[in-house]
A and B are shown apart, each in its own frame.
Chain A
């Protein structure tokens, strides 16, 4: 904290609401620059309200704290990525393993209750005032300017408030930035964490030491509902669950817990978990709208980061939010630092954040994958293609003494059986190339 920078009319230079990845990174960067920062978190401990699938593409953290890889509570380094199609009777995997992934350490598995708590401790180390157990009820406004927060009977004033309060962001609603989000922009994630001895995990998933595996699964795990399943290895547990697009879940009459259970009890999945002990059953929303869901990122005196800003990307192969949360936190802190130096907290001043974010990997990737959410509205992704693939492979491996055919006629025959038409396949493939 730097007393010189602190004007008498505010309690803190900046109040950051939410100690998730986005909030912690923003608060940390601002404190390092010498500003007084309050980090308010509604959970009794940072991380205690948070949940993610758990693969953190953490290269971005090197920019924030070089010691991240060595010190953070990382579970495993992801060296095996599997893209899997699941049907009631088949499990088709594209299994990609690469030593280089381990060396770079670009993707690690994490458990948020542990990670966020550690991040918040790092924030305190550089002078951030952490207040856990404080639910912020709303914004303090002075005409159209946001000048602080309200929590219970208390008010606290600051030059800038950062909304890092996640996908449900009540602060953004309060600021008039967003109303009710369309349900096709949201998915519900239902997750179990299952304890297993580390040797068992290493054996079952074919891993050495701290290597980790990440499965992205489509098809039967959601029984055709838009979304997918995930299975990630931690040190001595497995994070497993489903992500279900809310519009489709509503429409198809399925139950979220039944789909979660259906995935875990699929005969191809259950053996991974066998003998395990359930540690936790949880749920959280995922911002799935991609670029279409990104709202205004600023108001006079307010900056929005992470999930609250809609910064999450589902590319089918990867589900990314934590790296984008960190990336937005870095840019937000930079903009706010400049605003504090110039004493200008107008929307025009803070809008530098929007422009700069757009130029970083966060904005670029949001643009690159702008068509991805529409592509994933395609119901064929969640059933027909998996079945088609398994039918072709069945033809390859089921040597039943009937004469074999070449692969192409076999694919054509499988296509004929499938509800998918050849033209549709070509069109979807083209759309995939353009969207992903």
Chain B
């Protein structure tokens, strides 16, 4: 994995401002559909925020709190694998620069 003079992705995400929705995740993965389509590796490398990870048991982990709300994962996911919406009103990333 590349890093640059500004640290790892996780370190960089720490500089962002988020209103974390602790009650609801705006992303859910249909694990069976994901397994059937082998969608894990694709989601892992498409997401610039490293929201997705492959767990030890082969399922896909989702760290929705880090999401940058770009929509790239939804655009590339095989049909039926992802349910992805914008976070609830006022929640999620708050860009201060943009």
The residue in chain A whose Cβ has the minimal distance to the Cβ of B89 is: A135
Query: Is B32 in contact with chain A by the CB < 8 A criterion?
Result: no
Docked-complex contact B75 and A183, CB < 8 angstroms? yes
Docked-complex contact A270 and B98, CB < 8 angstroms? no
Q: How far is the CA of A282 from the CA of B97 in the complex (A)?
A: 9
Q: Which of B80-98 contact A (CB under 8 A)?
A: 85-90, 92-98
Docked-complex contact B95 and A134, CB < 8 angstroms? no
Interchain Cβ contacts within 8 Å, total number: 158
Query: Is A111 in contact with chain B by the CB < 8 A criterion?
Result: yes
Docked-complex contact B98 and A52, CB < 8 angstroms? yes
Q: Which residues of B contact A47 (CB under 8 A)?
A: 95, 98
Docked-complex contact B95 and A113, CB < 8 angstroms? yes
Q: How far is the CA of A180 from the CA of B71 in the complex (A)?
A: 12
Q: Which residues of B contact A113 (CB under 8 A)?
A: 95-98
Chain A nearest CB from B51 CB (Å) reads 11
Given A51, A181, A255, A257, which contacts B95 in the complex, CB threshold below 8 Å? A51
The residue in chain B whose Cβ has the minimal distance to the Cβ of A48 is: B94
Docked-complex contact B49 and A250, CB < 8 angstroms? no
Query: Is A262 in contact with chain B by the CB < 8 A criterion?
Result: yes
Given contacts A151-B89, A170-B86, contact A180 B75 (CB under 8 A): yes
Q: Which of A61-69, A211-219, A272-280, A350-358 contacts B (4 or more CB under 8 A)?
A: A272-280
Docked-complex contact B72 and A256, CB < 8 angstroms? yes
Docked-complex contact A283 and B72, CB < 8 angstroms? yes
Given B2, B13, B44, B93, which contacts A265 in the complex, CB threshold below 8 Å? B2
Query: Is B35 in contact with chain A by the CB < 8 A criterion?
Result: no
Q: Which residues of B contact A278 (CB under 8 A)?
A: 6-7, 12, 15
Q: Which residues of B contact A112 (CB under 8 A)?
A: 95, 98
Q: Interface size on A (CB < 8 Å)? A: 63
Chain B nearest CB from A105 CB (Å) reads 21
Q: Which residues of A contact B1 (CB under 8 A)?
A: 255, 258, 261
Q: How far is the CA of A167 from the CA of B69 in the complex (A)?
A: 11
Chain B nearest CB from A116 CB (Å) reads 8
Q: Which residues of A contact B3 (CB under 8 A)?
A: 261, 265
Docked-complex contact A274 and B5, CB < 8 angstroms? yes
Q: Which of B51-69 contact A (CB under 8 A)?
A: 68-69
Query: Is A125 in contact with chain B by the CB < 8 A criterion?
Result: no
The residue in chain B whose Cβ has the minimal distance to the Cβ of A264 is: B4
Docked-complex contact A44 and B95, CB < 8 angstroms? no
Q: Which residues of A contact B16 (CB under 8 A)?
A: 280-282
Chain B nearest CB from A283 CB (Å) reads 4
Docked-complex contact A133 and B94, CB < 8 angstroms? no
Chain B 2-34 per-residue mask, 1 if CB under 8 angstroms from chain A, else 0: 111111010011011001000000000000000
Chain B nearest CB from A169 CB (Å) reads 10
Given B42, B48, B71, B85, which contacts A257 in the complex, CB threshold below 8 Å? B48
Docked-complex contact A183 and B76, CB < 8 angstroms? yes
Docked-complex contact B70 and A285, CB < 8 angstroms? yes
Given contacts A112-B98, A135-B86, A186-B75, contact A280 B15 (CB under 8 A): yes
Query: Is A349 in contact with chain B by the CB < 8 A criterion?
Result: no
Q: How far is the CA of A156 from the CA of B71 in the complex (A)?
A: 27
Chain B nearest CB from A51 CB (Å) reads 5
Docked-complex contact B93 and A44, CB < 8 angstroms? no
Query: Is B46 in contact with chain A by the CB < 8 A criterion?
Result: yes
Given contacts A52-B98, A278-B7, contact A283 B49 (CB under 8 A): yes
Given A42, A45, A257, A265, which contacts B9 in the complex, CB threshold below 8 Å? A257
Q: Which residues of B contact A280 (CB under 8 A)?
A: 15-16, 95-98
Chain A 118-159 per-residue mask, 1 if CB under 8 angstroms from chain B, else 0: 000000000000001111000000000000000110000000
Given contacts A114-B98, A192-B12, A256-B46, contact A282 B76 (CB under 8 A): no
Q: Which residues of B contact A49 (CB under 8 A)?
A: 69, 92-95
Chain A 68-106 per-residue mask, 1 if CB under 8 angstroms from chain B, else 0: 000000000000000000000000000000000000000
Q: Which of A242-264 contact B (CB under 8 A)?
A: 246, 249-250, 253-258, 260-262, 264
Q: How far is the CA of A135 from the CA of B19 in the complex (A)?
A: 14
Given contacts A256-B45, A257-B9, A261-B4, contact A283 B70 (CB under 8 A): yes
Docked-complex contact A282 and B2, CB < 8 angstroms? no
Q: How far is the CA of A183 from the CA of B1 in the complex (A)?
A: 25
Q: Which residues of B contact A392 (CB under 8 A)?
A: none
Docked-complex contact A270 and B4, CB < 8 angstroms? yes
Docked-complex contact B98 and A50, CB < 8 angstroms? yes
Between-chain CB contacts (< 8 Å), 7 pairs: A133-B90, A151-B89, A168-B74, A250-B42, A255-B46, A258-B1, A282-B93
By a beta-carbon cutoff of 8 Å, the part of chain B in contact with chain A is 1-7, 9, 12-13, 15-16, 19, 42, 44-50, 68-72, 74-76, 79, 85-90, 92-98
- List 9 additional contacts besides A43-B94, A44-B19; criterion CB under 8 Å: A113-B97, A194-B6, A249-B46, A255-B1, A256-B47, A257-B9, A261-B4, A280-B16, A282-B95
